[in-house]
Each structure stands twice: as structure tokens, then as C-alpha cells.
Structure 1
Amino acid sequence: MKHRFSFLLRPFSATMDIIALDICFALAFRLKFGTTESLFDVPYVTLFWFINAAWLLVLLLNKPYNFSRLTFTIQNLLVGLAKLIGLHVALVSVFWVFTQGGFYYSREQLALTYVLFLCAGSLWRSVVLILLKVYRAMGYNTRRFVVVGYGPLSRSIQTFYQMYPEIGFKFYGYFDKMNPDNASALRGDYTYLKEYITRNEIDCVYCCLPYIETEQLREIMDFSEEASYQVKLIVDFKGFLTKGVTVEYHDIQPVISLSTHYLDDLQVNVFKRAFDIVFSATVLLTGAPFFLIIALITKLSSKGPAFYSQERIGKWGRPFHIYKFRSMYPDAERSGPALSSGDNDNRITPWGQFMRKTRLDEFPQFYNVLKGDMSVVGPRPERQYFINQIVEKSPEYKYLLMVKPGITSIGQIKFGYAENVEQMVQRLWYDLEYLQRVSFSTDVWLIVQTVRVMMQGRGK
């Protein structure tokens, strides 16, 4: 069965709401009158059946459970519930007026019903959402997808679903014209695509418009009706890096409106900076004794200073000096700039290896945050020497320079330290995702994930 049990989610949700509404109605009756013996006597039995019928009518008119996997969030679920309750209250109010319900029904009992129902509806939605996301993250109830057109943009889609396994999308390969440069990365070419979609019951086909021709796209869309899969188009908007893409209609012609001022809003310029100052100051003040111990161990464990400073490139290409606890022996780069090769790098001290695994070497960068050179969360800053090499392979890196670099990032959590320029390019695609998701909740989530990596000693 291609779509497994996802089709049951809507009837399940409707049933849960009806059950919750009836239970809350009865519980409110009990709390108001101290008994439920007369609940199904006239006139309350009439009100009981009407609120059920009104709820079903609201569901039929609004289809409130039609969420895609990307919009299946607790915020959308709770906002949707509040809207449903608002419409239901309006219908019941009309019923109340026409039946002169003020003479028969208790306003307190009805108000209490809605309060209880809001709590109950929010609770079961939250529980189901969490359980379903955990279930999908474990590899169940997944949707299968392929990407047609191979390139940096198409790789970003695979990266996105790797970062968010709770959405439940499983990658089944790339398809494009075969050539010596991409043959090893592709599942096959266009001649093999239809057979592969049918045999593997693919649910979704992402088509990258920069890499696919119009005729091929038309064939994929025509075949979607026969094979029953979704077609989604990927357009390269990274060059615009805007949070406010809107669609305007000039008669029937859609026109995409783009802002050229990326992240130029109150949330980023004020709230994010305020959070950076408060959080970094708190860490530096409360952790000062602990940092002194780390500095002392660093100093005593090998020759050289406790701290290490190096020039990095920040927002808009401005250089600044980043601070760390020293994890390498002095003069580690006397032969020129070089990236660490991880556990096999003999330039790293034994204590430095531990600090890198637990990310303790990064703590002095909170001073950089206070100065305004960095943010707590943002793409990792690099040296100009390596930036020049990265841009040659992936020009998209220059967009990371439009925001402040950070102590931690999606790339740092999901990928870790890069051992060469190729790995730096791979990490780039994780950090580009952050640019489209800058928010307080995302920053908090990344900080929590960083703490988890530190506690587990999984820093790479």
C-alpha cells in the first residue's frame, strides 16, 4: 500500500475531537451541577446533539486536518484548533439565540466546556505530534523521494531531510544526464526514471529547474498521473536570500516579489543581538572558575599559551580575531595554513583532542560574541585563505558572509570540523539551511543540540 497509514490521520483526528468535545461537555456539566443524571434529558440533550452536529459541520467546511508534513507543527495545530473553536462558538451562539437558550442553558457550563476542550484538544494534538515525529524519525511512515537534476541545489534537498528525519522523507537517489563528472552520484539517467519510480513506489519527485529541460519536466508531470506521485519544483532562490518571498498576481500572471534586505528586521537586529549579549555574559560570568581551570590545564599540559588567536572573516567580509583555548602545539602551522585531520592529526595535543571532542576549546568565543564579532548561533567563520578555495568550488559560500558567524551552527552539529576544502563545501549546505530558518526557536534548538554533543563527546 503506497501511502501506508497516513490516510487514517484525518478520520482519527476528527474522531478524537468529537470524543474530547463530548467528554468535556459532560465534565463541565458535572462541575457546574454536581451530577450528570439529567445530562441527556431535555433541554440539554438537544444542546448536546447540536454541538456535535455543529462540530461536524465546521470540519466539513474547513477541512482542518489537511496538513503537509512540513506544516505539521504544534503551532499550526493549535492555531487551527483555536479557529475551529471560534467558528463552533459562533454556530452555537446562533443556536442559543434562536432557541432562547438563555432560559434553559448555563453560560458557565458552556464556557467551561470550551475551556476544557481547548486544553484537551491541545493535549492530544501535542502527544500525537510528538509520537508521530519520533515514529518517523525511527524510519517508519516515510515518504520516498527522488531528485531529478543533479547539482548543488539538488543536494540541498537531500541535506534538508537528513537534518529533519522527523518529517519522514527517505531519499532514493538522483537522476540526470550521465557524464563522467556525475556518474558515481546518480541512480540513473532519464531513461531509467519511470521504471524506477514505479518499482520503488516513489511518492515525490523533486525537479531542480536549473538542471532540467522543459520537455523532461513535462514528461515527469504527465507520468505523475499514471504513477500517482507528487511533482515539486525547486527554484534557485539562494542568490536572493530573502525571508519575505511573496507572490503577486498581475491579472492571472504570478509575479514573485523578492526583498533585497536579507535578515534586515527587528527580530535579527534587536532580539537576536540582545539574546547574544545576555547568553554570552551569563556563560562567561557563571563559567569563569571553570574556564580558569581549563586554561590552567591547557598551560600545564603542553608548552605554549593557554589561549589561541587567529584572524577569521566575519559579516560582510570584515576580518576579526577569534579566540580559543589552544588545542595544538605551538607553531603548528609554521609551514602554512592547514586544516586539522581529526584524530590522526599529530599537531593536536592529547588535552586538545579532549577539548575538541567536548567543544570546550570554543568557550573563549563568547568574548567575541560580546564584542559583536560573532553570534552564539551562526555559520562558522573561516580564514580568507580557505574561503577563496571554497568559493571556487561553491560560490554560494559568499551568502554566509551576509550574517554574523557563530560559535555553533547546523553544520558544526551535523558535520563538525572539516578536514579539507571538499568537506568544508559539504558543511556549507547545512549552514545555508540556517539562513532560511533564522529564528529564536531555531537558535535555542541548535544550542540544546550543541550541549548534547558536548555531553556525549561526539565533537568531530
Structure 2
Amino acid sequence: MIKDNQRYFNRLHLLVDAVVVALSYSLAWLIKFKTPFANTEPGVTALSVATYFSALYFIVPGYVLLYYFFNMYTPKRATRRKYEISSIFKANTVGVFLFMVMLFAVKQEHFSRSLIFIFYVINIILTTLSRSMIRNGLQYFRKKGYNLKYVLLVGYSRAAEEYITRINANPQWGYVVRGILDDRVPGGTLYKGVKVLGRIDNLLYILPENKLDEIAVTLALEDYDRLERIVDLCEKSGVHTKFIPDYNSLVPSRPYTEDLMGLPVINIRYVPLTNTLNWVAKRAVDVVGSFCGIIISSPIMLVTVLLIKCTSRGPVIFKQERVGLHNKPFKMYKFRTMELQKTSQEQKAWTVKDDPRVTKVGKLLRRTSLDELPQLFNILAGEMSLVGPRPERPLFVEKFREEIPRYMIKHQVRPGLTGWAQINGYRGDTSIRKRIEYDIFYIENWTMGLDIKIMFLTVFKGFINKNAY
């Protein structure tokens, strides 16, 4: 069974990591001392080859231990590759720091610091490559029907259906759902090839056979009074048991938990930008970015002002009330792209394709998103951010808050000039529900790296968009 294979595989993985660490260190030494481009630091030649390589007695087991602490030996069938790469980077960074501290503690000032840096870079690259090769190899064998994990679902619910859907869509994970046990749904009922095998009490006969690798408890909400008994029964059999809640539409993919004197508390929504350091860092980027943006784009804005003035009657800047952070209204600035109209006409609907209200210059400005440039002043004033969910008018906020679940979550952060939804094509007259899905993903998974990625992609995908009318 897979339980035995996993033990041997972990040992093999550990051995591969140890070899990669030793190889990376050896390559770093060769590059440092044996290449034509070798740069000798003062004093480093005072150490012998034996002294340098004796460090491997500490480095190899030390790095394997660090990889263990960073959970790099736990099964990650369905874990995204980027999380493994992140763990590799963190473990190596901590490893180099500890090695430098150790050298300082033993007062070894002749050990080459550049060799350590070269080792750091090479080891990250080679470990990432080796683990990617192992991951790709395992995925290939799992698609061919080897190294599979057999799972039984207890309870027919939305959670069970979503779990089966994802398993079927990702054969490289190597999961096979044997069936479902449920008391409400008749036996023989099929969902995407998975059959309801019988009642939940059948666990008493199925578990002793020991032919399963996992039990996934996917009870419907109305059956949660049976949860404790079922989990207790599964754990007594020694089968790995996991719980897939039937309220995943409420709980995010990475819930924020608290320990209230032994009582686990799950926060329904974790917003990284509520952290003061994150907030300050993002605001600093907004101030510097908007200030630089105003200076760089000032010639374009000046030309745009002249074009609007020369081609249509009315003000250059169009101000419209939008809903921002914590549901507070603010005036958002844009270059005017429509003919002058009454306020009641302005508010009746958003712009659609071939809207007769848009001027000829306005069409160009909207198509290239140049009409959004005045929002750099909103960002400088703290009403908006460079990246975030796009703000909406109050009347649409009132409408969507009743129609779309979790719509108001977007107001827990500052609205943005560009956003995750926009670079994925959801702007203009597109699905509001899909837009909100992308906005919530951004809010729950915010990092400075994600902001940089969005700003970078905006240059290539966000300015010119087929949905910008």
C-alpha cells in the first residue's frame, strides 16, 4: 500500500537532498578556487581543501534538518509547486545565516564568504531542479496508474462533489475515490463515475479490511452531529482521516486560526493588509509609485487635456462618486471621455460596446486606459492604491451587495488603479461574479510580490483590453 511506499520514498528524498547539498557545495568550491575567473579574497587561501570540505559534516545534516523543519518531507500531492520553491528558498536562507553565525562564533575569519554565497545560489537552483524532476516523474507514474492513493468519502454533500471534481480533473495527484457512504442518498447514485456504496455504518465492515489509504469526511451540514463519532471510528482503524467542510464557500483556502486558551477559533476572512507592516509597506509603494507616475505621465496628460478641450465641450476632468475603503465614498478622477450629460443620465448604467455617449477621443482614451491616469492623484491622496479591486458607484454597490455573496469584502482594502481581476480580462461589461472571485483571491492572498506581478502584467495586458469600451 501507499503507506509503506511513502516511508521508503521519504528516505530516498532525504538521500537525494543530501547528495544535492554536497554537490552544490563542491561546485561552489570549484567555481571559487579552480576556474579562470576565480577571485581570491585576502586570507582565504590560508585554509586547506580538507578544512573547506570538512564543513560538509555540518552542512549536509544541517540542511536536511532544515528541510524537515520547513515541512519539505511531508506528502504534497496536491500542493502547488510555488510553495515548495518558497520553502527551498526559506530553508537555504536560514541555512546560510546559521552557517555565517557559526563561523563568527568560532572566529573563522578566513573562510570564503563568496563561496558561501555561490553555494547558496547553486543549492537553491539544484534543489529546485531535483525536486521538480521528482515531482514530474511521480505525476507521470500516477497518470499511468502507479503510486495511487485510495480514498473513501463519508457523506454526500457539496464538499464531496467539489472534491471528486478536483480529483478527476487532476489525475497527476494520484487519488482514486473508491466510493461514498451516506444515509440520505440512495445506494447506487453516481456522481462523475463515483458511486454511493451504502450507509455510513458500513464503515464498521470496510475499515478492518485495510484497503484504504485515506478517509475523507465530507458530511453535509445537517449531519455534523455524527462527525465526532465517525472521526473517532476512522482514527481507531489507523487510516489517515481528513475533514472537508461543507461550508468552504465561507471559509477561505488559507483560514486564519487563533488559540483562545485551548479553544481553536477560525477567522472567516484573513486580510493580510490589516497587518500594520503590510499596510505601511503598501502605502509607501503607493506614494512613491503615484508620485513617479505623475511626473512620467505628465506629458501624456498634458496632450490629453488639449485633445479633450479641442474636441468637445465641458470640463477636462470627470469626477464621480465611488465607494472605497471601509465603504467610505470618495470622488474618483478620470479624463472625461463622454459628451456632457445630466447626472441622472450618467448614473443610469455603465458604458457598453459602441456607447453613443463616448466621444471619438474618449474611445481612444478608454481603449488604452489613459482616461484612468488622473487616479494617480487619488492614490497620492490615500483614497486609492496602485493595485486593488476597482471601485464601484454607490448605486451598484447597493445592488450587488444583495445579489452577489461576499461582494462587500472588496471594501476591506483600498480600491486600485489596476487589479488581479482586470489583468485577467474582467473589466468593463464582464461578469461581476467572476470579478469578485478574483478580487477576493487578491485580498486573501496579498503579498508585495503579487502587487509587483500585477503592475508588471498591467503594462502588457491591462492598458489595452477588448472589454474597455
* TM-score (norm: length of structure 2): 0.63
Shift in alpha-carbon separation, 1:229–1:55, aligned structure 2, 3 A: farther
State the match for 2:387 in structure 1: 377
2:280 aligned residue (265, 270, 281):
270
For residue 279 of structure 1, report the CA deviation from its aligned partner: 1.3
Shift in alpha-carbon separation, 1:331–1:265, aligned structure 2, 3 A: same
1:292 aligns with 2:302: yes
1:388 aligns with 2:398: yes
2:408 aligned residue (398, 415, 421):
398
Three-state SS of the structure 2 residue aligned to 1:331 is coil
Shift in alpha-carbon separation, 1:212–1:411, aligned structure 2, 3 A: farther
Shift in alpha-carbon separation, 1:432–1:204, aligned structure 2, 3 A: farther
Give a deviation string over 1:170-218, Cα, whole Å, max 9, x none.
Answer: 9xxxx9x9xxxxxxxx96998499xxxxxxxxx9989698698576999
* Counterpart residue identity of residue 246, structure 1: E
State the match for 2:460 in structure 1: 452
Give a deviation string over 1:31-76, Cα, whole Å, max 9, x none.
Answer: 67999xx95xxxx39x74x555555534554544337535626553
Three-state SS of the structure 2 residue aligned to 1:120 is helix
Q: Is the Cα contact below 8 Å between 1:243 and 1:263 reproduced in 2?
A: no
Paired with 1:169 and 1:358, the residues of 2 have a C-alpha distance of 42
1:79 aligns with 2:86: no
Three-state SS of the structure 2 residue aligned to 1:108 is coil
State the match for 2:345 in structure 1: 334
2:24 aligned residue (20, 45, 48):
20
For residue 435 of structure 1, report the CA deviation from its aligned partner: 1.9
Segment of structure 1 superposing worse, 350-359 or 238-247: 238-247
Shift in alpha-carbon separation, 1:236–1:321, aligned structure 2, 3 A: same
Shift in alpha-carbon separation, 1:269–1:241, aligned structure 2, 3 A: farther
Segment of structure 1 superposing worse, 216-225 or 370-379: 216-225
Shift in alpha-carbon separation, 1:353–1:254, aligned structure 2, 3 A: same
Three-state SS of the structure 2 residue aligned to 1:427 is helix
Three-state SS of the structure 2 residue aligned to 1:72 is helix
Q: Is the Cα contact below 8 Å between 1:207 and 1:217 reproduced in 2?
A: no
For residue 240 of structure 1, report the CA deviation from its aligned partner: 10
For residue 452 of structure 1, report the CA deviation from its aligned partner: 1.8
Q: Where does the alignment leave 5 or more consecutive residues of structure 1 unmatched?
A: 160-164, 178-185, 194-202
Segment of structure 1 superposing worse, 372-381 or 116-125: 116-125
1:436 aligned residue (426, 439, 444):
444
* Counterpart residue identity of residue 351, structure 2: S
For residue 235 of structure 1, report the CA deviation from its aligned partner: 5.7
Paired with 1:219 and 1:255, the residues of 2 have a C-alpha distance of 22
Give a deviation string over 1:119-170, Cα, whole Å, max 9, x none.
Answer: 32234457789x89xx9xxx9x9999x9x8559xx99xx99xxxxx9xx999
Paired with 1:352 and 1:188, the residues of 2 have a C-alpha distance of 53
* Counterpart residue identity of residue 425, structure 1: R
2:116 aligned residue (110, 114, 117):
114
Three-state SS of the structure 1 residue aligned to 2:350 is coil
Identity of aligned residues (%): 21
* Counterpart residue identity of residue 373, structure 1: E
Three-state SS of the structure 2 residue aligned to 1:312 is strand
For residue 221 of structure 1, report the CA deviation from its aligned partner: 12
For residue 390 of structure 1, report the CA deviation from its aligned partner: 0.9
Give a deviation string over 1:360-396, Cα, whole Å, max 9, x none.
Answer: 2211111111222222222211112111111112342
1:8-407 pair list within 5 angstroms: 13-27=17-31, 30=34, 44=50, 48=53, 51-52=55-56, 54-58=58-62, 61-64=65-68, 65-66=72-73, 68=76, 69-70=79-80, 72=83, 74-84=85-95, 108-109=110-111, 113-124=115-126, 150=158, 191=196, 232-233=244-245, 245-247=257-259, 250=262, 254-256=264-266, 263-302=273-312, 304-331=314-341, 334=345, 337-341=348-352, 343-407=353-417
Shift in alpha-carbon separation, 1:261–1:127, aligned structure 2, 3 A: closer
Shift in alpha-carbon separation, 1:81–1:292, aligned structure 2, 3 A: same
Q: Is the Cα contact below 8 Å between 1:328 and 1:348 reproduced in 2?
A: yes
Paired with 1:246 and 1:298, the residues of 2 have a C-alpha distance of 55
* Counterpart residue identity of residue 15, structure 1: V
Paired with 1:447 and 1:248, the residues of 2 have a C-alpha distance of 39
Q: Where does the alignment leave 5 or more consecutive residues of structure 2 unmatched?
A: 175-179, 183-190, 199-213
Give a deviation string over 1:320-352, Cα, whole Å, max 9, x none.
Answer: 2111122334338628521233x3544434543
Paired with 1:205 and 1:378, the residues of 2 have a C-alpha distance of 36
Paired with 1:265 and 1:300, the residues of 2 have a C-alpha distance of 47
Three-state SS of the structure 2 residue aligned to 1:379 is coil
Shift in alpha-carbon separation, 1:24–1:336, aligned structure 2, 3 A: closer
* Counterpart residue identity of residue 362, structure 1: E
Paired with 1:393 and 1:83, the residues of 2 have a C-alpha distance of 48
* Counterpart residue identity of residue 334, structure 1: Q
Q: Is the Cα contact below 8 Å between 2:313 and 2:339 reproduced in 1?
A: yes
* Counterpart residue identity of residue 337, structure 1: K
* Counterpart residue identity of residue 117, structure 1: F
Paired with 1:390 and 1:233, the residues of 2 have a C-alpha distance of 27
State the match for 1:181 in structure 2: none
Give a deviation string over 1:79-123, Cα, whole Å, max 9, x none.
Answer: 2024445677899999xx9xxxx9xxx973576653432232234
Shift in alpha-carbon separation, 1:419–1:27, aligned structure 2, 3 A: closer
* Counterpart residue identity of residue 116, structure 2: Y
Cα root mean square deviation, aligned? 5.9
Segment of structure 1 superposing worse, 70-79 or 389-398: 70-79
State the match for 1:425 in structure 2: 433
For residue 262 of structure 1, report the CA deviation from its aligned partner: 7.6
Q: Alignment length, in residue pairs?
A: 408
Paired with 1:360 and 1:116, the residues of 2 have a C-alpha distance of 45
